[in-house]
Structures are given as C-alpha cells and as structure tokens.
C-alpha cells in the first residue's frame, strides 16, 4: 500500500465494508454496535485496503452451500432450488454494488463444504457431487459472474472421498478435547455447538429414525463436535490457500473477529440457511422456512421448469401456474430487513 493512494483508498474501503456489514449476521451479545458496526469495519479494513492498494479485485471466501439437509420435512430434495438461487443472486449483487464503489470489484469464492462432513450427516457422496454440479450450473444460468465454487475435490484431485476427508483432518483439525474445552468456556463456541447440535437433531429426525429421542440427542451432541472439527479443518486449509481473502461465514460471529457472519436471506431464525429450508414467497417477497412449516401455513408448492422450486403463500388465483422468476430487488429488500 502506498502513502499516495491511502487518502483515496480509506473512504472507499470503508464504503465497501459498510456494504458488506449491512448484511451482517450477528451473534446475540457478540459485542457489535450500531447499524454498521464500526469496530468490525476497522477490524477488516486492512485486508480490504490491501486489495485496493494493489488494484486487485477484493476476494471473499465463504464456506457454505454444503448439501441439502437429508430431512424431507425441511427441504424439497437433494438438489439446489430457488432458496439457493436467491442467496446466489444476493451474493452476486453484493459484489456488483462493491464494484460501484471500487471498479476492479469483488468476487466471492463459495467454498462448498459438503464433502468435508457429509458422512456425518448421513448424506451420500453422490448427493454432494450432484449438489455441487447443479450449483455450478445455477451460477452460470443466472449470470453470477462474481461467484465461483471451490471444493475439497479440487484440493485432492483423484483421491477417494474418504481419503480426502482423512487427509483434511490429519493436516488441519483440532482435537475433540480441544473443542470440548472451548465449548466449556461458553460464548461464541458454545453458541456454535448448540446451533450445530440443533441442526443435526432436526436433520436426523427423519421418518425412518426408530430409536429414542434421548439416544438421538446424545448422538447429535457427539456428531456436532465432529462437524465443527471438520469445519475448523476446512477453515484452516482455506486460510492457507487464500491468505489475502476476507473470510465470510454463514454463522453469527462475535464482534471484530477473523470472520464476518453474513445473512443470506430474510429469515426469522438466524441459523436457517437455504440448504436447511425452502424459499417461500409471500406478498412479493421471499423468506426461508422449513418445508413442513410452509406446508402447515398453507403455502402451495410452485414449479419452475417442471421441478419443485419454492412455496407460495399468495391467495388462490394469483399466478401460481406460471411462477415468476425471483426478482433480485424484492429479495434484497427482504435480506436487508
């Protein structure tokens, strides 16, 4: 970074971070303040300023879009649908708005982490492959030129899926004892552990589960530690591979830490993601809901190109036969709410 460029770069770098942080997913009692948190802005300023000083596009890394939940009460099936499409459009739109402030622009590398822990969720490797390929096609179809996908398959080309996971863990995972110690300390690690345990419990409470609730709870608590262990390994590897990128997360994060928690959609549940839910259109806006909740609320399934795509809450006769493609404006309004 040169001294000459610094006076111009600073306000623009702050504008870039204000744009990103206006969609921040915060941890309750995480320490953030104000509509756009000034402490988070200054914490990430150096990374953004570094990219801008060298004239590079600003790169963000987002571990996300792993695979659909295996529970049919939450999602429409194993492939991405309108819930993912809306989130991709939102992320691409965010990069477009950054380009208005800083013309070299920004890119988000979606580090799809399904392969990292699908075995723990009981999701087949083929389903992860199908999801990743469909997401790539979706990125191309909607013209999301600022988004790219990166997976564990690209790190260990040609290796078997089990071997990939073993290599990742061997090189980068903390021990379970270390994680338990962190969670016992409370705060953000405990919130993360509870959130993941809740997801596991929902994901594995499928109609074919025949055991007791308490046995499932025990299993999910154990699995949650292993999911966090693998996610942490994936995060460490990404830090090594992309040291200059700004790290985004789909999980709420404490103030001024290494990752920025991001909202991908308007949802009353801060932990709900497109791959744990369905898109529901209501009053011209979209939100995310678990599939069973949408159906219980009377929403009707809508198809796009012959495939189940989203739910619509509109009264009868308002155009369900030919659902309009999602409008970015309405989604962005929703995402900002």
Identity of the residue, 37 or 128, whose beta carbon is nearer to Zn ion in the bound complex: 37
Binding-site member from 14, 16, 27, 32 for Zn ion (CB under 5 A): 32
Collect all residues with Cβ–Cβ distance below 8 Å to 324 and sequence separation of at least 6: none
Is residue 262 within the footprint of Zn ion (CB under 5 A)? no
Pick the piece of the chain touching Zn ion (CB under 5 A) from 40-48, 142-150, 266-274, 312-320.
Answer: 40-48
Identity of the residue, 13 or 37, whose beta carbon is nearer to Zn ion in the bound complex: 37
Smallest separation (angstroms) from Zn ion to the CB of 255: 3
Is 56 exposed, middle or buried, given 0-12, 13-18 or 19+ CB atoms closer than 10 A?
middle
User: Token pair of 104, please?
Assistant: 């070299």
Is residue 17 within the footprint of Zn ion (CB under 5 A)? no
Q: Contact, 193 vs 225, CB < 8 A?
A: yes
Binding-site member from 13, 17, 20, 40 for Zn ion (CB under 5 A): 40
- C-alpha distances in Å from residue 216, one per residue of 53, 119, 197, 198, 271: 52, 16, 11, 11, 21
Binding mask 94-113 for Zn ion (x = CB under 5 A): --------------------
What is the widest separation between alpha-carbon atoms in the chain?
67
Pick the piece of the chain touching Zn ion (CB under 5 A) from 26-34, 56-64, 75-83, 242-250.
Answer: 26-34
Instruction: Compute how many residues bind Zn ion; rule: CB under 5 A.
Output: 5
User: Token pair of 207, please?
Assistant: 């109609």
User: Token pair of 157, please?
Assistant: 């080309």
Residues of span 230-259 touching Zn ion by CB under 5 A: 255
By CB under 5 A, name the binding residues for Zn ion: 32, 37, 39-40, 255
């Amino acid at each position: 970074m040169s001294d000459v460029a610094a006076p111009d770069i600073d306000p623009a770098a702050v504008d870039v971070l204000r744009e990103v942080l206006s969609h921040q997913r915060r941890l309750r009692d995480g320490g953030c303040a104000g509509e756009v948190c000034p402490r988070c802005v200054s914490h990430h300023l150096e990374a953004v300023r570094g990219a801008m000083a060298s004239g590079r596009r600003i790169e963000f890394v987002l571990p996300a879009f792993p695979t659909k939940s295996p529970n049919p009460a939450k999602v429409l099936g194993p492939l991405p649908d309108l819930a993912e499409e809306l989130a991709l459009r939102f992320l691409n739109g965010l990069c477009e708005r950054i380009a208005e402030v800083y013309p070299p622009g920004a890119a988000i590398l979606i580090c799809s982490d399904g392969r990292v822990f699908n075995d723990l969720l009981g999701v087949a490797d083929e389903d992860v492959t199908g999801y990743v390929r469909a997401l790539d096609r979706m990125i191309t179809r909607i013209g999301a030129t600022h988004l790219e996908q990166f997976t564990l398959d690209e790190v260990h080309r040609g290796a078997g899926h089990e071997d990939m996971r073993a290599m990742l863990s061997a090189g980068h995972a903390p021990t379970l004892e270390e994680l338990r110690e962190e969670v016992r300390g409370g705060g953000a690690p405990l919130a993360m552990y509870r959130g993941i345990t809740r997801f596991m419990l929902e994901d594995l409470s499928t109609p074919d589960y025949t055991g007791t609730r308490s046995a499932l709870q025990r299993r999910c608590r154990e699995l949650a530690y292993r999911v966090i262990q693998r996610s942490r390994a994936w995060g460490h590897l990404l830090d090594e591979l992309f040291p200059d990128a700004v790290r985004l997360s789909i999980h709420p994060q404490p103030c001024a830490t290494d990752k920025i928690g991001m909202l991908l959609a308007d949802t009353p549940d801060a932990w709900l993601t497109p791959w744990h839910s369905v898109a529901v259109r209501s009053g011209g806006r979209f939100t995310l809901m678990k599939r069973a909740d949408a159906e219980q609320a009377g929403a009707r399934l809508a198809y796009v190109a012959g495939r189940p795509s989203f739910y619509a809450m509109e009264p009868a006769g308002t155009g369900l036969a030919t659902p309009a493609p999602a409008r970015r404006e309405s989604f962005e309004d929703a995402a900002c709410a």
